[in-house]
Amino acid sequence: MDRFVSNFTNRLDAKGRVSIPASFRAVLARDGFEGVYAHPSLSMEAVDCGGHALLREIDALLERYPSYSEERDVYSTALLGTSEILKVDPEGRVILTESVKAAAGISGELTFVGQGYKFQIWEPGRFRAHLDEAKSRVRDLRKLLGARAQGAATPSPPGARE
């Protein structure tokens, strides 16, 4: 597997370390990234994390904008200027910095959430609320897309105006 999938809740130890889920460590190892690249999420109270695949996504986003443009500057600042590389110890643990914990509102427990090319770190209660909202939005989108597909497949009655 070369994608981050599933979610796991772990506790910070007395030294502020947390074990990265084994399946996530395996993805990072296959990716060849030493450590964990981390930056505050642009849209959530969470931290985006990953390796080379995440950095490629960031590079692809930045390349959409001309060098020295305002858009590229703000994205570079938000994604690269606030990033950290967390070192993974031999037992697969990282020490979360104060800025990482603050970005996600973490104090004791945290939830790792796989998102394919990256994973996020969340405060568990915030993640549960986000997951409930995400499920609700997906149900609404599926209804909307189903209605659109059904409307496209159903021919209009004769004389109907479009």
| pLDDT tens per residue across all 162 residues of the chain | 799 999 999 999 999 999 999 999 999 999 999 899 999 999 999 999 999 999 999 999 999 999 999 999 999 999 999 999 999 999 999 999 999 999 999 999 999 999 999 999 999 999 999 999 999 999 999 999 887 877 766 555 555 554
Question: Is 7-123 assigned to CATH 1.20.58.100?
Answer: no
> How many angstroms separate the CA atoms of 35 and 84, rounded?
10
Domain ranges of the chain: 7-123
- Stated as kind and residue range, the H or E segment containing 9 is strand 7-11
E strands present in 12-162:
17-19, 36-40, 47-50, 84-86, 93-95, 109-114, 119-122
